[in-house]
């Protein structure tokens, strides 16, 4: 169970979280000027224009996918929001959450990933790095039972389509990840992209590391800012 920094205020008479409570209880994971609290290969990661910046170039290619990992806390139940942008015509990145170290010395992470790219297929999906691969495509509500049997409900395909249409290159976009017990939800620019109810034994994760991905391959540049974490109470059991 993750310790809360401040109590989460609930409006008991409506059963919803107040906007003021969300703002008051969120903590910033990035100070806007340094990589304090983050661990990664600084030949690829830096702060530029007030944003965490991951960049590979022809002179400094990323031959193996690498991660910048938050090192002060691990997180369980939460709402994470942040802004991101790709500064070129191509790019592939993601946010790892409830993840684990694969190889700490090599900055390698495995686990849930909220994907983003400059292409048209993967932004907003749920991918499990070094695990089950694509767990939910954009527009899918997926349920995985204890044995891993997958049931797919395409209940918000229009919202997912709008999320793709709303993405802008070289401009800031917003991403929100909500992890509540076994339920995981992604939103891009206010549009829901996936929901997953993951109960697969030996596969689901209820807490872990947060990290940013810089994908191997062609030169690219991606930036992140306004990284806000709201921790929520853990009312779930495994």
Burial string for 182-221 (b: 16+ CB within 10 Å, else e) reads bebbbbbbebbbbbbbbbbeeebbbbbbbbbbbbeeeebb
Q: Is the pLDDT of residue 101 over 50?
A: yes
Question: For position 15, what pLDDT does the model report?
Answer: 37
Average pLDDT over residues 112-132: 97
Average pLDDT over residues 80-106: 97
Token pair belonging to 105: 């010395």
Question: For position 8, what pLDDT does the model report?
Answer: 38
Question: For position 17, what pLDDT does the model report?
Answer: 41
Model confidence at 233, in pLDDT bands (50, 70, 90)? confident
Average pLDDT over residues 155-165: 93
Q: Is the pLDDT of residue 14 over 80?
A: no
Model confidence at 237, in pLDDT bands (50, 70, 90)? low
Average pLDDT, the chain: 90
Q: What is the pLDDT of residues 135-151, one digit of tens each?
A: 999 999 999 999 999 99
Q: Please report the DSSP string for 111-170 in residue order.
A: EEEEEEESSSS-TT-EEEETTTEEEE-TT-EEEE-TT--EEEE---HHHHHHHHHH--TT
Average pLDDT over residues 195-216: 98
């Amino acid at each position: 169970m993750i310790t809360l920094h401040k109590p989460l205020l609930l409006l008991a008479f409506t059963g919803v979280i107040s906007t003021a409570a969300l703002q008051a209880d969120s903590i910033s994971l990035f100070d806007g000027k340094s990589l304090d609290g983050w661990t990664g290969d600084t030949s690829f990661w830096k702060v530029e224009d007030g944003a965490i910046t991951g960049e590979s170039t022809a002179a400094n290619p990323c031959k193996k996918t690498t991660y910048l990992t938050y090192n002060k806390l691990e997180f369980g139940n939460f709402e994470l929001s942040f802004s991101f942008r790709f500064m070129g015509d191509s790019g592939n990145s993601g946010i790892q959450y409830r993840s684990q170290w694969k190889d700490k010395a090599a900055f390698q992470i495995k686990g849930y990933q909220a994907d983003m790219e400059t292409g048209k297929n993967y932004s907003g999906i749920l991918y499990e790095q070094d695990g089950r691969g694509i767990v939910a495509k954009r527009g899918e509500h997926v349920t995985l039972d204890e044995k891993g049997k997958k049931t797919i409900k395409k209940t918000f395909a229009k919202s997912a389509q709008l999320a793709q249409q709303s993405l802008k290159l070289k401009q800031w976009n917003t991403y929100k990840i909500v992890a509540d017990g076994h339920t995981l939800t992604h939103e891009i620019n206010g549009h829901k992209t996936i929901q997953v109810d993951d109960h697969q034994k030996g596969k689901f994760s209820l807490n872990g590391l947060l990290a940013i991905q810089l994908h191997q391959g062609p030169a690219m540049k991606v930036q992140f800012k306004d990284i806000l974490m709201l921790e929520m109470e853990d009312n779930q059991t495994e």
